[in-house]
Chain A
Amino acid sequence: MNDALRSLTDLDRVIHEPARLLILTILSGVVRADFLFLQRETGLTKGNLSAHLSRLEESGYIKIEKTFKGKLPLTVCKLTIAGQKALTKYRQQVQEFMKKTSQPN
């Protein structure tokens, strides 16, 4: 196995999951977004999105704030500095891999 392929094993598995990568990318473009917006943008079910958000929060990549809008509960998510750094590192690793593998031998 060459180095380029081996570097893939170093990828952050939390971010590598497509739904979580999409959530982090969306949050990287805003200050904060609520559950409804994330659900519409990702196309995930409530349960699925909730599970992915919990996983991201456990990893310290996002911060979830639960507030109320009138009587309705509102879940607002925000990318943390650790999340921003992890996403940037992930993008660099993937770019590096693409560059290495696209070079002719």
Chain B
Amino acid sequence: MEQDFVEIKQRVRHYWFKDGIGEIAVGGLLIVLAIYFMAHRALPPVSNAPLYLDFGLAFIFILGVAFTRKLILIFKTHITYPRTGYVEYHMENISSLPARIAIFASIGIFVLLLILIGRWVGSFQWVPALLGVLMGGIAYGVYKTTANLHRFNYHAVLSVVAGFGFSISGLPPQYGLSLYYLLLGLWLIGCGSHMLKKYLQENPLPEAGGDE
């Protein structure tokens, strides 16, 4: 019986990922990051622009995460909720200002730490591998806590393999990071679009009418 409780809760969590909208939005954010790192590499090393871009990265992450979250909710409101119902999750309910500040500060500190460690070590070659493991861990966590979301297992494997691949490829770090984000972003958009198409085919808009 306890197993049934766990499975029901997993099914409810699964609902968030059912339409693929989250993957499309996160994929879009990763492509923006890919463009950012490509620009970073393209700028002349003598100018101060790369330094400004380093600090700009924290803002891109913070604004990107906030914008992506907002975008997901807007699309879900127009596509998912009218078809299969509205659900508000505990993570969505972060409405207090201190909680938001804490989350965004954590992201900012994480990015700045990456930059500072990279400058201290003198190389960013290991960053794609680290990010690959980190994002792979998140994808694997989603796979483990939801029901039958095997595609997240593939996301995790691709993230780790691509991260390590680009780290040892010998490419300049910004290119390695850029290609890692590009590959993962395109993969997520592709998977998400496929899931969204399937979801729309399986769940046409119900006829207008009240709940009861």
Interface status of A12 (Cβ within 8 A of chain B):
no
* B2-10, B23-31, B103-111, B177-185 - the one binding chain A: B2-10
- Report how many A-B pairs have Cβ atoms within 8 Å: 75
B89 in the interface (beta carbon within 8 A): yes
Contact A30 B85 (CB under 8 A): no
0 or 1 for each of B88-99: is its CB under 8 Å from A? (1 = yes): 111011000000
Report yes or no: A38 in contact with B85, Cβ–Cβ below 8 A: yes
Mask for B63-88, Cβ within 8 A of A = 1, else 0? Answer: 00000000000000000011011111
Interface size class of B (residues with CB under 8 A): 20 to 34
Known: A72-B210, A73-B210. A34 touches B85 (CB 8 A): yes
A33 touching B1, Cβ below 8 Å: no
Within 8 A of B (CB), among A81-95: 91, 94-95
A31 touches B90 (CB 8 A): yes
Does A28 have its Cβ within 8 Å of any Cβ on chain B? yes
CB distance from A92 to the nearest CB of B (A): 11
Choose among B2, B12, B85, B88 the residue that contacts A35 (Cβ–Cβ < 8 A).
B85
Q: Does B102 contact A (CB under 8 A)?
A: no
A-side residues, CB < 8 A to B, are: 22, 25-26, 28-41, 46-47, 50, 69, 72-76, 91, 94-95, 98
